Copies of this chain bind each other. A is one copy, B any other.
Amino acid sequence: MADKITPRETNYSQWYVDIVTNAKLADYSPVKGCMVIRPNGYALWEKMQSILDRMFKETGHRNAYFPLLIPESFIKKEAEHVEGFSPELAVVTHGGGDELDEPLIIRPTSETIIWSMYKKWIQSYRDLPLLINQWANVVRWEKRTRLFLRTTEFLWQEGHTAHATEQEAKEETLKMLFVYQKFVEEYMGISVIVGEKSESEKFAGAVKTYTIEALMQDKKALQAGTSHFLGQNFAKAFDVSFQNRKGDLEYVWATSWGVSTRLIGALIMSHSDDKGLVLPPKIAPVEIVIVPIYKNNTKSTVIIYAENLYNSLKDKFSVIFDDDDQNKPGWKFSEWEMQGVPVRIEIGPRDIKKEQIVVARRDTGEKINVKRNSAEEKIRTLLEDIQNNLFRKSARFRQENTYQTADYNEFKEVISQKGGFIQAGWCGSAECEKKIKEDTKATIRALPLAKEETDRRKCIICGREAKYTAIFAKSY
């Protein structure tokens, strides 16, 4: 198994594909740009969904479902929206054997169809805030696709909220951004930069877009989630107003926010190694695998001992007892390493004599002997430790690969030679942003919310006064 994976050093892109296919997370489909999410990959998505769904509900949101198909005219109602999404649309022209009077678009995102409904549901300040989330598939026609990272169809959640005041909508935008940050850092173990997008990188139709940006092992950035303050743009496009407490009509304020199956790509590229997937315990569908090691004459003793351990753990952890007779222990070790199971327990005749088990952690490869009677407690601590270690490693990696410079030559050298994030001053003009992109392929990933001490007095390009400290990187 493991020898099928191309090492990262040899070919990073191939390494990624090898992990996805060998761990059976996803497969190419016969439909161009669309992938099949296999059971191992879908189990990750289910785990992410269940955690995020709880976080959304704890912050007062409810799930709903809106139509997949959107009248073409709707997409055109918000000027920036149509401009941004037009090149990516899939169009249904025939239904039930007949040509349609008006073509229907497969949703690339649901602002337009949802705001057409909000018009029916919102009349008064009493109807606000309206806090709705949708779990759904969306389609955006993509020329170049990669499993999980960029596919024509993907799965996501999209929150769409409506508010009586600008202030409240802005607070919601940031609240959900921080929900994403918490989820990605505390559960997925990925350290992110939290910031605002520049004008040219924001969502088509938003007033402001906020983002969490992660750094992959090849030193390229990946946008892991976005939250948009939409102002009154969609309320105006769909004529959604409400009567405020004073009895006056006002347009409604809006947000939208989403994360997608792309997060699975981020997860793989953050933690995995040349042996396969590495999963943080809080996201791992299986936390522990028990592998018995025996010969014919020790088989029954070992199986009984291992099964006893399995029974004592199975209500407290997600654990698999791999007692399959067809495969040897060494093969099983590789296979479960490939699948990223955080903790492996090995049990052989000698361990039983010593009343111990051998515990191997996937993140470091370290093996320790643990007394049988303290197994549960030690494993619990170990899982926490693995979770923390992965996050610390991710944070350290990001820190070690974040550079500061006030010199454009150095900037270009870092981008082309080292990669990673570069902090630099930016005057705020689209021209300077564009020049950097043309020169280096790097884009502004975020204007960080946390203002760090840095030499941001001057724009790295034009030398004028810098309005922002921007984070630049090449990205997925």
User: Interface of A with B (CB < 8 Å)?
Assistant: 27, 29-31, 34-39, 41-43, 45-46, 62-71, 74, 86-97, 103-104, 106, 113, 116-117, 120-121, 132, 136-137, 139, 141-143, 152-153, 155
Complex contacts, A31 vs chain B, CB 8 Å: 67, 69-71, 104, 113
Q: State the CA gap A46–B66 with chains docked (Å).
A: 15
Contact A91 B89 (CB under 8 A): no
Closest B residue to A143 using CB positions:
B96
Complex contacts, A64 vs chain B, CB 8 Å: 36-39, 41-42
- Assuming the contacts A87-B96, A96-B141, asked whether A68 and B38 have C-beta atoms less than 8 A apart, the reply is no
Q: State the CA gap A68–B92 with chains docked (Å).
A: 13
Copies in the complex: 2
Q: Which of B30, B67, B93 contacts A93 (CB 8 A)?
A: B93
Complex contacts, A88 vs chain B, CB 8 Å: 96
Contact A37 B65 (CB under 8 A): yes
Q: Which of B67, B93, B96, B136 contacts A29 (CB 8 A)?
A: B67
Apart from A31-B70, A45-B65: 11 A-B pairs, beta carbons within 8 A: A29-B67, A29-B117, A31-B71, A39-B64, A39-B132, A41-B64, A68-B68, A69-B90, A89-B96, A90-B96, A94-B103
CB A114 to nearest CB in B, in angstroms, measures 9
Q: Which of B27, B67, B94, B132 contacts A91 (CB 8 A)?
A: B94
CB A119 to nearest CB in B, in angstroms, measures 10
Closest B residue to A61 using CB positions:
B39
Q: State the CA gap A356–B476 with chains docked (Å).
A: 63
Contact B92 A91 (CB under 8 A): yes
Complex contacts, A29 vs chain B, CB 8 Å: 66-67, 113, 116-117
Q: State the CA gap A333–B93 with chains docked (Å).
A: 48
Contact B97 A67 (CB under 8 A): no
CB A44 to nearest CB in B, in angstroms, measures 11
Complex contacts, A90 vs chain B, CB 8 Å: 69, 92, 94-96, 104
Can you show 20 pairs from A to B with CB atoms below 8 A apart?
A: A27-B120, A27-B121, A29-B66, A30-B71, A31-B69, A31-B70, A31-B113, A34-B68, A36-B117, A42-B64, A43-B62, A65-B155, A68-B68, A90-B94, A90-B96, A91-B93, A91-B95, A96-B142, A106-B106, A136-B137
